[in-house]
Amino acid sequence: MSMLFGMATRKVTITIDEADLARVRVLVAEGRARSVSAFVQHAVRISLEDADLWAIELAQALAETGGPLTEAERAWAESWVDGRNGREWA
């Protein structure tokens, strides 16, 4: 573990699509990103913030529409997301 700008950091190994990595490396070469690690750290931070905001919005929407989903509503929603309802994505 090390410290980066006052934050504890840990080196990890990730798997990333080669084309995406190439694009990130171009951004680094152009000076538009500090490093591949900095780019990935920024992307993770943004994704975590998005997840937090989504959870807040979902809680607010559920509070405004009758509370948490019932088991039947949750099963229907999950079937819709994973395609068990016979619908195909365009």
Nearest to 27 by CA among 41, 38, 18: 38
Q: Distance of CA 52 to CAs 14, 18, 62, Å?
A: 23, 29, 15
Written as one letter, the residue type at 49 is E
User: How far does CA 17 lie from the centroid of its chain?
Assistant: 16
Q: Is the pTM of this model over 0.85?
A: no
Query: Of the given ranges (3-7, 46-50, 57-61), which has the lowest mean pLDDT?
Result: 3-7
- For the chain, the domains span 2-82
pLDDT tens digits, residue range 12-49? 999 999 999 999 999 999 999 999 999 999 999 999 99
- Which ranges in 9-82 belong to alpha helices (H)? 18-29, 36-64, 71-82
Residue 74: which pLDDT band, with cuts at 50, 70 and 90?
A: confident
